[in-house]
Amino acid sequence: MLVVGGQALGFVGAGVGSLVAAHPALVGGFLGVTIPTVMSKLTQGVSQAYNFDWAASDKKMMDDLKQAANALYVPLGETVGKSLAALVVGKVGSAAATSLRIREGAIAAMCMINPTIKETLVDALSSLRYAVQEVVKKALFVMTYINARKVAAKLLNKEDTWGKEGQSPFIVSEKVEETWAKVKELKKMNILIG
């Protein structure tokens, strides 16, 4: 029940129900956007799990994570590089400054003079945001996996082997392919024998 100023105004459920009844396109639009997004994320997660090396050492996973973080320099360099290139258009041959300070007003003026600068900056910053997002997702996955594997190894007395170097890879997609190859070979043998 929704009470305002000591007076009962109605039930929240009834209000939500009337909103849904009055605006079914809103609910349909929400579901139309949400369901494909959930399915896409689910498919990406399954694909990642299917192709992930579950036996990789902690050191290797941390090295991969550091490499992914270092790879951020590429889009960051592109963002800064494109911005600088837009600034120096028409000033070829002038001495390069050792530092660069840009104010919002200068950026706004540049965007008014040359609208493609705005598009370039937006594209570059969008690429940078996506790259950072991917590294953060990878970091969350790797750190969660390493810590969960440590807990499981402790519970199952596998601390000497799990997460250590020298383990043979365990990639589900490879195991499926190996098993499928064995099944095909057995099928051939049965055809030849029978």
pLDDT over 50 (residue 127): yes
User: Is the Cβ–Cβ distance between 164 and 57 less than 8 Å?
Assistant: yes
Residue with tokens 């043979």: 168
Give tens-digit pLDDT for 59-101.
998 888 888 877 777 666 665 655 555 554 444 444 444 444 6
- Phi and psi based region of residue 190 (left: phi greater than 0; alpha: psi -120 to 50; beta: remaining): alpha
Q: How many Å apart are CA 168 and CA 111, to the nearest integer? A: 55
DSSP 30: H
Token pair belonging to 92 = 């070829």
In the chain, the amino acid numbered 6 is: G
The pLDDT of residue 178: 92
Selection from 19-33, 79-93, 98-112, 158-172 with the highest mean pLDDT: 158-172
Band of residue 26 on the pLDDT scale cut at 50, 70, 90: low
Q: pLDDT band at 3, cuts 50/70/90?
A: very low
Tell the residue number behind the tokens 């039930």, with chain if given: 11
Beta-bridged to residue 171, according to DSSP, are 53
Q: How confident is the model at residue 50 (pLDDT cuts 50, 70, 90)?
A: confident
